[in-house]
Amino acid sequence: MADVSDWFRSLPKFTRYWFAGTVALSLIGRFGIVSPYYFILRYQEVIYNYQIWRPLTALFFYPISPQTGFHFLINLYFLVNYSKLLETGVFATRPADYAFLLLFNWLFCTITALYMNMMVLMDPMVLSILYVWCNLNRDTIVNFWFGSQFRALYLPWVLFAFNMILSGGGMAELIGILVGHFYYFLKFEYPTQYGGQAWLSTPSFLENYFPPIVGGMGGFGVPPPGRPAGPTAGGGGGGGGGGAFGGGHNWGRGNRLN
């Protein structure tokens, strides 16, 4: 249990809360502590009866049964793995941007699910996050079942085809792919490759609530290579010397104040 607790605390903030909420609400519904009916997304209940908590509970709740248990565990694996990779990689120093990504994808998954009469959002949300990571790391080689390997760019489509063949589904995965592509296109592809306007910007209230993290490595895309170290500056003592920061020049000893 100590190992599990350490692993759980090692997860980054948003991934940890998403994972914990999903496990907790799914188990509450599974054991009948609260009826799962109050967790699922239903158009009439949301629009006409103003049960506005349903879009949020539909994100965390998944109906666990002998038929869906394995799929639930696979989704948990992808949730933890790819949300963690995004949160500690591309968005490592910009937690507000990752919060905005989650809110944006959740909002469009909810709108689509209400229109398509889908009752839970775990499948499309996980696929939307996975899609964003796969396109930011499209040339990375990923491993899949039976030892198969391919570029990360194809992983969302492999999962879509896999679920469609095994369970006759795939619509939830397809919605997640479309939502993820919508975010990726507006945030990354359209401004950089087409020179268009940056349509997606993180709201200021998220920036205030989740300020940027100073230090560390982050930023969109592949991290730039490290700057070559300059020659060591001569002179030391007193207030300190130059090093690479000083550009390789000898700035002298300096004088101690007081």
Tens-digit pLDDT profile for residues 94-148: 999 999 999 999 999 999 999 999 999 999 999 999 999 999 999 999 888 777 8
Indicate the residue type of 8.
F
Q: Above 70 in pLDDT, residue 8?
A: yes
pLDDT at 192: 77
Q: Above 50 in pLDDT, residue 253?
A: no
Distances (CA, A) of 117 to 26, 112, 201: 20, 8, 30
Mean pLDDT of the chain: 83
Q: pLDDT-based confidence at 196, cuts 50/70/90?
A: low
pLDDT in tens, 210-227: 999 876 544 444 433 333
pLDDT at 215: 61
Strand partners, 150: 142
Longest CA–CA span in the chain (Å) reads 79
Question: pTM (2 decimals)?
Answer: 0.80
pLDDT at 163: 85
pLDDT in tens, 155-192: 999 999 988 887 767 899 999 999 999 999 999 888 77
pLDDT at 19: 97
pLDDT at 239: 38
pLDDT at 4: 86
Q: Above 50 in pLDDT, residue 248?
A: no
Q: pLDDT-based confidence at 1, cuts 50/70/90?
A: low
Query: Residues 186, 104: contact at Cβ < 8 Å?
Result: no
pLDDT at 92: 93
CA distance 88 to 98: 10
pLDDT at 189: 86
CA distance 217 to 211: 15
Residue that has been written with the tokens 């709108």 in this structure: 111
Nearest to 200 by CA among 108, 121, 125, 100: 100
CA distance 211 to 204: 10
Q: Above 50 in pLDDT, residue 204?
A: yes
Residue that has been written with the tokens 């730039």 in this structure: 224
Q: pLDDT-based confidence at 199, cuts 50/70/90?
A: confident
